[in-house]
Amino acid sequence: MIDVRPVFYALGALLCILSMFMLVPMLADLAYASDDADSFLLSACVTGFFGVALMLAFHVEDLKVDRRQGFLLTALAWFVLSGFAALPFRFSSIELSFAGAYFESMSGLTATGSSAIADLSIAPPGILLWRGLLNALGGAGIIVVALVMLPFLSVGGMQLFRAESSDRSEKLFPRIDQIAGATIAVYTGLIMLCVFVYAALGMTTFDAVVHGMTTVATGGFGNYSDSFASYDAPILWAATLFMIFGSLPLALIVLSLNRGPGVLLKDPQIRTFLVFLGCAVVLVTAWLVVMAGAPLFWAITHAAFNVVSIVSTTGFASDDYLQWGPLPVVVFLFLSTIGGCTGSTTGGLKIFRYQVMAMLLRRHRNETVMPHTVYVRRYGDRPIGDDVVRAVLVLFALYGATVICLAMGLAATGLEFETAISGAVTAVSNVGPGIGDRIGPVGSFASLSDLALWMLSFGMLVGRLEFTTVFILFSRRFWQA
C-alpha cells in the first residue's frame, strides 16, 4: 500500500500557500470599499486551518515522495485545491452554488477560462482578481509552486514535475528548484511585461493586472462578460502576441535568454506551431473578407486574435465568431483540440503530438509502398523511441474516449447536441468557450445544471493532467504495487 503521510503533509502545505493568496483579493475588496472582503477572510481561515491540520497530523521525519506518491499528490492537489479555492465564490455576494463555485475554481486552476458567472458586471473586484490569480497559479501549474516549496520541506519534487506534464524536454538545470525558479521567473516576467503593455495601451491598472495574468497563463478569465470585445486593435494585437508567448515552452524561453532567440526558431515544434497559426489566420481572414465583406484590417485583427486565443486554449473573444459563417464555426471547433507547445501553459493535445501522428502516417504510407525499407523515426535531429510513440497514441485514444463519454453524459442531462459536444471538447482541451448560444463566446455555463458542471469540472481536471495521472488512480494495481 501507498504511504499517504507525505502526500497529505505536502497537500497541507499547498493549502497554507493557497490561504495566503486569498488575502490578496481581500485587500482589493478593502481598497475598493467592497463588502465582499469578509468572504475571502473566512475562506483563508478555513483553508489555512485545514492546511495546518494536515501538516500536523501527517508530519513525519525525512519525508520523501516516490513515483506513485507523486501521481497521487498531483491529482489530489488539483482536486482538493479547487475545492478550497471555490470557497470565496460560494461565500461572496454572487452566491454561486457549490457546483458552480467548484466549476469556476477548477476552470481557473486548470487555466480553462469557462465561467459559471452569467454577469461579471455584478462581481466585486476581489472575485475578479481571485479569478485572475487562479489563472496565474494554474497557468504555469500549481505543481511548479510546490516544486519551489517542497525542497524546503525535505520532499522530493521531480516526480511531481514528471506527473504534471508529459513534456520530455531536456533538463536545463541539474536541480528541481532551479527548474522551478527559472520557470517562475520567466513566467512572472512575462506577466509583468504584459501588464505594463496593457496599461500603456489604455487599460485601467486593475484590468491590466487581471488580464495580464490571464493572458500569459492562457487562462481566459476576464473582467467583462463580452471578454475583449470592447477593446481596440492595439490591445487586441498585444494580447495576441502574449498569448503566443504563453503557448511556447517556458524552458526554451529560459534557454533563449542565455543563447539568443534563435533557439526558439530552431525548435521544430515552435516552427510548426507558428506556421499553423499563420495558415489558420489566413484562412479565416480570407473568409471574412471574401464571404462576409469585412474590411481587411478588421478581418485580420479579429481573425488573428480569435484564432490564437482558441489554439492557445486561452478562450478570449473579440467578437461572436459563431456569426461569421459555417466555415469559421467548424474551424474554431477543430482549433479547440490543438493546443500550443508541450511545456507551455496551454491545454489541448499539443502540436508535438500532432507532429508525431503525422510522422507515423508518413511512415505507414512509405512502408506500404516500399515494405522492405527501414525507416528511422526522427524529430528534428533526434530519433524518437517507441515509448514516445506509444505515449502519444495512448493520449490520443484517451482524449477521444474522454470527449465521447463526457459528451454522452452531458447529453444525458438534457443538453442539445452542439452544446454537449463542444462543452466536452472545450473542457477536456481546457479552452473555455464552446459552440452554441449557451456556452459560446458571448455566453456562459451558468445555465447548465449542477450535474453538468460537475462532469465538466472532472473533464477539465483530466485534460489538464493529461489523463494518465488521473485514470491511473482508478487502477487496483496502482494501489497494490
- pLDDT tens digits, one per residue of 230-245: 999 999 999 999 999 9
What is the pLDDT at residue 470? 87
What is the 3 state secondary structure string of the chain?
A: CCCCHHHHHHHHHHHHHHHHHCHHHHHHHHHCCCCCHHHHHHHHHHHHHHHHHHHHHCCCCCCCCCHHHHHHHHHHHHHHHHHHHCHHHHHCCCCCCHHHHHHHHHHHHCCCCCCCCCCHHHCCHHHHHHHHHHHHHHHHCHHHHHHHHHHHHCCCCHHHHHHHCCCCCCCCCCCHHHHHHHHHHHHHHHHHHHHHHHHHCCCCHHHHHHHHHHHHCCCCCCCCCCCCCCCCHHHHHHHHHHHHHHCCCHHHHHHHHHHCCHHHHHCHHHHHHHHHHHHHHHHHHHHHHHCCCCCHHHHHHHHHHHHHHHHCCCCCCCCCHHHCCHHHHHHHHHHCCCCCCCCCCCCCCCHHHHHHHHHHHHHHHHHHHCCCCCCCCEECCEECCHHHHHHHHHHHHHHHHHHHHHHHHHHHCCCCHHHHHHHHHHHHCCCCCCCCCCCCCCCCCCCCCHHHHHHHHHHHHHHHCCCHHHHHHHCHHHHHC
Domain ranges of the chain: 387-480
What is the pLDDT at residue 406? 97
- The mean pLDDT value of the chain amounts to 87
Kindly report each contact of residues 296-299 with a partner whose C-beta sits within 8 Å and lies 24 or more positions away, as own/partner. Answer: 297/233
- For residue 251, give the amino acid letter: A
| CA–CA separation, 213 and 235 (whole Å) | 15
| CA–CA separation, 260 and 183 (whole Å) | 17
Residues 84/95, Cβ–Cβ less than 8 Å: no
What's the Rg (C-alpha) of the chain? 22
What is the pLDDT at residue 176? 58
Burial class (CB in 10 A: 0-12, 13-18, 19+), 177: middle
Residues 296/330, Cβ–Cβ less than 8 Å: no
Q: How far is CA 69 from CA 6, 11, 157, 158, in A?
A: 8, 12, 11, 12
Instruction: List the chain residues with pLDDT less than 70.
Output: 62-63, 141-180, 374-376, 481
Question: How does pLDDT run across 158-208, given as a tens digit for each residue?
Answer: 344 444 444 444 444 455 566 667 778 889 999 999 999 999 999 999 999
What is the pLDDT at residue 229? 93
The residue to which cell 493535445 is assigned = 349
